[in-house]
Structure 1
């Protein structure tokens, strides 16, 4: 994992009210993106399987937050977790998104 990958991940987290690190073929990633879309969230998605440095970015995420699976979701620069974490906090989403200014 490179320093550049860690900086890129941190920049994505810092610059976007909602950031979803995803893989295009992952059903859990798809479910998370659908949930966020349903509640009207404006979110940034990076498909780790479609960018050259995807493996490095995924390694950087694991180093930053301990989670190596996708989706890896941040709202308001706070790590939410994966799809099951997002679904478990569905009732809180409007407030989380408002606080992050992502609606």
Structure 2
């Protein structure tokens, strides 16, 4: 397993909610705003602000078949991107409770 894949997996495993993001991305901002509004405790990795961000994005694509950001995980389950998260708005409170993120 590559170092980037190991790092991504440890972030996913170590946080109830993990958001792989880019600081300038409007969809990432919408995701973070929704999670903040829900009172979620989430960990964000800004891929454009870390040295191995591109490698982590490649590793996430291998793991999830999704290249775009945000790439969202709740309770170690891949949720998808911002549109997937917004579509789950009704279930989000219970998903976050199950993940012990609120």
Aligned-residue offset at 1:26: 0.1
Match of 1:89 in 2: 88
Aligned-residue offset at 1:84: 0.1
Aligned-residue offset at 1:28: 0.1
**Secondary structure of the residue that 2:94 maps to in structure 1?**
helix
Aligned-residue offset at 1:19: 0.1
Residues in 2 aligned to 1:10 and 1:64: alpha-carbon distance in whole angstroms: 9
Q: Under a length normalisation based on structure 1, what TM-score does the superposition of the two structures give?
A: 0.98
Moved over 6 A (4+): none
Q: Under a length normalisation based on structure 2, what TM-score does the superposition of the two structures give?
A: 0.99
Query: RMSD between aligned alpha carbons?
Result: 0.7
For structure 2, the residue ranges without an aligned partner over 5 or more in a row are none
Pairs aligned (count):
102
